[in-house]
């Protein structure tokens, strides 16, 4: 009998979390999980994605759904995959900030470590200019509360492979785009956040 440390991951977000547009149906999150193996830790993952969801709806529903997946005597963790939907809903950045803050404050009160994955860029320059501000606000909220933030916007905004993937895939990432997102998450603190050694690190 092997005594595993069990880490339970509950991920909330929109259709990108669910991998829409990916022919392999993995998305970035499935790719990240597939690369995460450790003999000392048993990882259990639950994905709670809702399409077209902004921060308001996310902050309203997340606890009721996620708390059912949290367990006793396990390391409960929360992954928050944020979208650009607030731009369409007319929310102020102050309101978006408050919505994320409410989620993170509740998680902190329960001693749950959160990983926040920021919104990914699109192809519209004007929209991206507004999204850059939103991404910055989200990063500020997360880091002030000592939760980990992965910025996907800045490295992908002018990335040729990312932009090409969106343009041929109806505005959604495909295999290449989701692969890029997964790479960013894996290389921007995923293992540290989980308390696991980096692959290849001796």
The pLDDT tens digits for 88-144 are 999 999 999 999 999 999 999 999 999 999 999 999 999 999 999 999 999 999 999
Parallel, antiparallel, or unpaired: how do β-strands 5-13 and 148-150 relate? unpaired
SS3 12: strand
Find out whether 180 and 154 touch, Cβ atoms under 8 Å. Answer: no
The reported pLDDT for the residue numbered 3 is 58
Q: Which two tokens stand for residue 192?
A: 């540290």
Find out whether 93 and 137 touch, Cβ atoms under 8 Å. Answer: yes
Report the candidate in 1, 28, 32, 23 with the shortest Cα–Cα distance to residue 13.
Answer: 28
Residues of the chain with pLDDT under 50: 1-2, 202
């Amino acid at each position: 009998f092997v005594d595993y440390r069990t880490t339970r991951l509950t991920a909330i977000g929109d259709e990108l979390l669910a991998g829409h547009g990916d022919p392999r149906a993995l998305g970035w999150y499935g790719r990240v999980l597939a690369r995460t193996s450790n003999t000392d830790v048993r990882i259990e993952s639950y994905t709670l994605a809702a399409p077209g969801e902004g921060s308001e709806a996310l902050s309203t529903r997340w606890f009721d759904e996620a708390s059912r997946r949290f367990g006793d005597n396990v390391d409960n963790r929360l992954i928050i995959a944020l979208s650009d939907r607030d731009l369409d809903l007319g929310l102020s950045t102050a309101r978006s900030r408050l919505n994320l803050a409410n989620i993170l404050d509740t998680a902190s009160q329960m001693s749950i470590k959160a990983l926040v994955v920021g919104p990914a860029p699109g192809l519209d320059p004007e929209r991206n200019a507004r999204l850059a501000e939103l991404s910055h606000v989200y990063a500020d909220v997360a880091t002030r509360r000592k939760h980990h933030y992965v910025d996907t916007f800045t490295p992908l905004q002018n990335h040729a492979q990312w932009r090409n993937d969106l343009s041929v895939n109806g505005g959604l990432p495909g295999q290449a785009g989701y692969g890029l997102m997964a790479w960013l998450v894996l290389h921007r603190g995923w293992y540290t956040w989980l308390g696991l050694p980096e692959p290849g690190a001796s």
